[in-house]
Amino acid sequence: MTEIVSSFADDLSLLPASRQAQLIRDRQVSPVEVMDAVLFRIEAQEPVLHAFCIVAGEQARGAAREAEAAVMRGDPLGALHGVPISIKDLICTADMPTVSGSRAYEGFVPEDDDVCVERVRRAGAIVIGKTNTPEFGYAGAGKNAVFPTTANPWNPAMTSGGSSAGSAAAVASGMGSLTIGSDGGGSIRGPASFCGLFGLKPSFGRVPAWPGCRDPRHPGVSSWESVEHLGPLTRTVEDAALLMSVIAGPDARDWHSLPAGDVDWLAAPAAPLGPLRIAYTPDFGFSVVDPEVRAITAAAAQVFASDLGCVVVEDTPPLQKDMFDLFLTVIMRDSDLRGLRALADRGLIHLPDLLMMLERDWSAQDFTDAAMRRQAVCNRLARFMQGYDLLLTPTVSSAAFPVEHFNPVSVAGMPAEQANPSPFTYPFNWTGQPAASVPAGFTAAGLPVGLQIVGRHVADATVLAAAAAFEQARPWAHLWPQLVRAAGAVRV
């Protein structure tokens, strides 16, 4: 059984990003001291977790020395000045490789930073490396043919989820307090649930995506355009809001990006929650859910009634069992089929499920039918949400499964292919609604379980306020895996 330990309150690597940034601004610690603490922890834990595919240690130390000099000169400092951050390896970085879990892109260095990377650098954050992901992000576990498989800090025999696998493992083990992941069907929220983190999929278009999934010059990476969301995985809601205050806002290079101004990201977590009307569903009416997950998330949902003054009603959106094939079809409609098939013909695609999808004879009618079915789901969810401020669900149908698999073999004793597990995340990629996973509790085996909080269209502020209120009622950030204790500490 995994031992859950309290935080090391004076370990620089384990402090929230907001606290690290404040200490640096107040000259109580140096960016170099923070960076050394984080790199110390990476050196100790990375051989077990394999969260990173690239650690830019010397580059990060050089940037930390420059950040320290800026503090000493009294230069204006950005909101994240000197704070280490990792970037998922599907997101472009111009000064280090973006491999995307693909043999076809080993050593590939993009010409441009993604917009969100530009913004965190401008705010003073220091990129410490790229975090592991399955091949082109097409799986729910951090396994690919290029890098070692990512493990879960709470139990390294288990997966950290996917596709933001390395990002979740890094933050959950103190290897950087901030990371940016991506979510096309649950790839931020699933790993957050498995690793005991706060993971936010903001509204579609809140964080511009360019050029990572918009660049047709690179076969295979121009994918998931209509469902991909970029967002934070953090230990606290405050840290996620801080990061969103930096990376959110329009950019002319992404024609999907939303205007700014309707969300005060820094104020949202502290906003009064009010007597919200909230729906809770344990299973969408058709999914098999692990009994422990069902019990933990049901208890967490009731916190909104018992502690936070909301009205919680058990109700489920009118969705259908056969949505997973629709999910696959939407993804493939968004994918660069020609480019991916060319890579497969050269033996450069290794993910079995992706190869299977590429071999399928997709037709234009398949894709137009999927577009109409997706719109029907969006319409049903919009009507359902008219009666509620929030919807609560389990984030994932089970806790983390063994690391050697891409998917759970079974859920609640039923073979996964019959259980229709974990339909809770991808419908909200179709609608673009904001959704977050908050840590809800632990199984008897010490594995984290997440509760998903879904807001109305562009109601990101409400999702953040609800998550922060739940965090205050049922704190989680002081809890760390036993692996963190074993690695030692660097103290203030």
Question: Which neighbouring-strand residues pair with 278?
Answer: 312, 390
**Residue type at 89 in one-letter notation:** D
Q: For the chain, how long is the longest CA-to-CA vector? A: 63
Round to whole Å and give the CA distance between 51 and 125: 19
Catalytic residue among 30, 100, 167, 187: 187
DSSP calls for 113-150: --HHHHHHHHTT-EEEEEE--SGGG-SSSS--SSSPPP
Report the candidate in 392, 82, 436, 390 with the shortest Cα–Cα distance to residue 240: 436
Catalytic residue among 13, 18, 30, 88: 88
30 flagged as catalytic: no
Query: Residue 331 in contact with residue 224, Cβ under 8 Å?
Result: yes
Question: Which position has the token pair 């933050």?
Answer: 171
Residue 231, Cβ density class (10 Å: 0-12 exposed, 13-18 middle, ≥19 buried): buried
Residue 255, number of CB atoms within 10 A of its CB: 11
Count CA atoms closer than 13 A to 227's CA, side-chain side. 29
Round to whole Å and give the CA distance between 234 and 67: 23
Query: Residue 128 in contact with residue 116, Cβ under 8 Å?
Result: no
Instruction: Name the 3-class secondary structure at 364.
Output: helix
397 flagged as catalytic: no
Tell me the CA distances in angstroms from 14 to 78, 141, 247, 295, 391, one per residue in order.
Answer: 21, 25, 23, 30, 32
Start-end of H helices in 15-141: 17-25, 31-49, 57-73, 115-122
Radius of gyration of the chain from its Cα atoms, rounded to whole angstroms? 21
201 flagged as catalytic: no
- The tokens of 274 are what? 């009010």
Round to whole Å and give the CA distance between 49 and 170: 8
Tell me the CA distances in angstroms from 411 to 192, 397, 406, 416, 418, one per residue in order.
Answer: 19, 7, 14, 6, 9
- The tokens of 125 are what? 């954050």
Round to whole Å and give the CA distance between 366 and 328: 11
Catalytic residue among 163, 164, 182, 223: 163
DSSP calls for 291-360: HHHHHHHHHHHHHHHHTT--EEEE------TTHHHHHHHHHHHHS-HHHHHHHHHTT----HHHHHHHHS
- The tokens of 455 are what? 């807001």
Q: Phi and psi of 160, rounded to 5°?
A: -95, 5
The DSSP 8-state label assigned to residue 78 in this structure reads -
User: Annotated catalytic sites, by residue?
Assistant: 88, 163, 187
